[in-house]
Structure 1
């Protein structure tokens, strides 16, 4: 008797290209609404925290999400694999929507102080620990393997759109009705995603592709063991981790200090960030239109290496115009390598483990790399921007070295 595997179902199922598939477009619209809501939420939270407490207290509120997110992320991957990514994303968005609207109602009715803001931040962090692995695992269930690179490009465009639109929308909400209005807007945007996600069709895994469910702890250990033993995923996740560790510090804290050192001011820093956004958006658009790119492993490795050189060069840009152009190149190369690595991760991981694999990647990218920001700030204070950017570029470049030096990863291809 012939066994029908998950891959067979995806190869033989007819389908439109992802950017023309109504099912994928419903998912993309839901994802975009949720991301814009997130951006508005962070504007509202920061404004409310600054208005309610001291600068130090506001900083604690803004970082309160990080602890539960980092601690619970791996467990979130187990939940995503057990319950299915769509169900987890719907539940996560519903909880986030309810929490934000509850705080908005509380702010409309009274002036409760910092405690509801801190509690909201903790809830968001805990929910994000489940939401992020599920979001990463969901595209593989709504499209075919051959379309995953295109979907990564579409997802990148959604993230760029949310970062451009979310800030002004949050500011408008605060200007019109204060933090309560901005929280209400964020909750409504997140709410839009729920019915759209309910209408998205997902592929259920055949029984042969489902991992045997044990206890939560045994499932977690099985996922980590799977990643560690996988010939492609293990070096790929190491490359992603090194790239993120070298990228986050300079492009966040380091860039602020560089702009201050060069006298570019806030406006100049904004132009540099815009250059980065344009480059990353161009990379996402390229993947959306082209879909599959050949020699994915080599492309990811060389893109990381070239991007690391551009990161180091940014600290020595003689003019603001040069810095903006360099940032655009960084965004293009980082966006390209990030999308290709994401597509490789989704196509190489077995469907039953995809939530846990995504959780490991998210833990490094979201849970641990922010720790490099205070280290980068302290290092810039001690040695200046140039040496810190060069060291960060070297760390990022090691990710490219890993991708190119491991033969099975270097030869990895995206499916057609």
Structure 2
């Protein structure tokens, strides 16, 4: 049986198109994080105003949010290969512009903000194209394995990219790290350029109600489902109070509090990614949680406690251990939440419900970045923001202990689901 599984996995790599897509993502995703590591440390190095550092994240997230729907429509109308080619090539050009500005001593903080915004636009078009490309290159029975391998690549990239980027900053400086990012993005572009796609004209299904009516139906469904409402509220507090402080605190603690070099930043960012990866792998091995609602609440409270300890920033290694635990708890919260949504939502509504969930969480990320950046700009320390955010999320978790819809969700009721369908 084990041999059959191994053979099945290797069959994916006998598919030339899948090999090219997989190789492209092996270069593209880590290449982006190599650039991001360089851009973060460069922004901290050229200006003492930490408002600009926070805006680096905000500038990328807003265009990504505004253009993500257009990106999805575009992916359904033109060649996905062309979109990915344009995306990776444009990113390489943008990083090249950074190198030119850096070498000519013309680089200003606003340059990095503009380039970050353009990266966000690129993300908005490349993400829908990449996520919808696999069904065109794989057979239906191979899609699960293909998606799993691609997802593993996406999870490893935030670990490998910062590790390589931080090391290069120390050894070769900013030109070296940005040059490597260009090489990796060009390699991804070349791999996708070899892709052989079969152009097919898809017939559009007749739509009986307007998109606006579909959106209204989705929001009404969420409004009248207590469990989904609870999950949305939990997601709101996580994304608003933790996303901004988590993203900004790693670099700020490494440079301003612990006064370490880029390797220190690499360690902190790497431990967060390793913790997230470890939790995801553990959930794969466990398959099904008996009490996912309790797991979410326990992980939420535990994560907030570690976030408070992390914000206290007593020692570098204690903060690294705390952020490792935060990475674990974050996935032990997010993955069961997604699973519960999928299990309890009417199949006819699941697309809209999941899109509302994604829109709510993604929409709050720029707000969290903006509020965090503004507070940093007026002198509030990142440590205070971490502690405050941790306390707010802990209160949310404690209140969830009284929520019967969440605590009573012990197992999936197939009969109930069949009735809903």
Whether contact under 8 Å (2:299, 2:332) holds in the other structure is no
Task: Give 1:391-410 correspondences, 5 Å limit.
Answer: 391-395=392-396, 404=406
Task: Give 1:5-84 correspondences, 5 Å limit.
Answer: 21-22=12-13, 27-49=21-43, 55=49, 59=53, 62-63=56-57, 64-83=59-78
* Residues 1:363 and 1:294: Cα distance change in structure 2 (over 3 Å): same
* Residues 1:166 and 1:354: Cα distance change in structure 2 (over 3 Å): farther
Task: State the distance in 1 between where 2:99 and 2:295 align.
Answer: 44
2:280 is matched with 284
Question: For 2:187, what is the secondary structure of its paired residue?
Answer: helix
* Residues 1:364 and 1:82: Cα distance change in structure 2 (over 3 Å): farther
Say which of 176, 182, 188 aligns to 1:193.
Answer: 188
1:305 is matched with 297
Q: Deviations over 1:289-318 (max 9, x none)?
A: x4x93369x63x433312211123223589
2:107 is matched with 113
Whether contact under 8 Å (1:312, 1:393) holds in the other structure is yes
* Residues 1:337 and 1:118: Cα distance change in structure 2 (over 3 Å): closer
Note the C-alpha offset of 1:127: 1.8
Whether contact under 8 Å (1:243, 1:304) holds in the other structure is no
Question: For 1:21, what is the secondary structure of its paired residue?
Answer: helix
Note the C-alpha offset of 1:329: 4.0
Whether contact under 8 Å (1:77, 1:356) holds in the other structure is no
1:334 is matched with 330
Corresponding residue pairs, total: 390
Structure 2 spans left out of the alignment, 5+ residues: 1-5
Task: Give 1:121-270 correspondences, 5 Å limit.
Answer: 121-135=116-130, 154=149, 157-174=152-169, 178-197=173-192, 221=212, 224-225=215-216, 227-228=218-219, 235=229, 239-249=234-244, 251-252=246-247
Q: Deviations over 1:247-297 (max 9, x none)?
A: 325534567899999x97769998776554332121233456x4x93369x
* Residues 1:112 and 1:213: Cα distance change in structure 2 (over 3 Å): farther
Note the C-alpha offset of 1:123: 1.4
Task: State the distance in 2 between where 1:228 and 1:403 align.
Answer: 19
Note the C-alpha offset of 1:189: 1.1
Question: For 2:242, what is the secondary structure of its paired residue?
Answer: helix
* Residues 1:359 and 1:162: Cα distance change in structure 2 (over 3 Å): same
* Residues 1:316 and 1:283: Cα distance change in structure 2 (over 3 Å): closer
Note the C-alpha offset of 1:97: 2.2
Question: For 2:91, what is the secondary structure of its paired residue?
Answer: helix
* Residues 1:334 and 1:54: Cα distance change in structure 2 (over 3 Å): closer
Which range moved further: 346-355 or 309-318?
A: 346-355
Question: For 2:35, what is the secondary structure of its paired residue?
Answer: helix
* Residues 1:136 and 1:257: Cα distance change in structure 2 (over 3 Å): same
* Residues 1:41 and 1:381: Cα distance change in structure 2 (over 3 Å): closer
2:359 is matched with 360
* Residues 1:295 and 1:193: Cα distance change in structure 2 (over 3 Å): same
Which range moved further: 252-261 or 237-246?
A: 252-261
Task: State the distance in 2 between where 1:73 and 1:402 align.
Answer: 35
1:5 is matched with none
Give the alignment's TM-score, normalised by structure 1.
0.66
Which structure ranks higher in relative contact order (CA pairs < 8 Å, sequence separation ≥ 6)?
1
1:99 is aligned to 2:94: yes
2:390 is matched with 389
Task: State the distance in 1 between where 2:322 and 2:383 align.
Answer: 25
Structure 1 spans left out of the alignment, 5+ residues: 1-14
2:3 is matched with none
Q: Deviations over 1:138-182 (max 9, x none)?
A: 567666889888777655643443233322433454456643443
Alpha carbon RMSD of aligned pairs, Å? Answer: 5.5
Task: State the distance in 1 between where 2:321 and 2:198 align.
Answer: 43
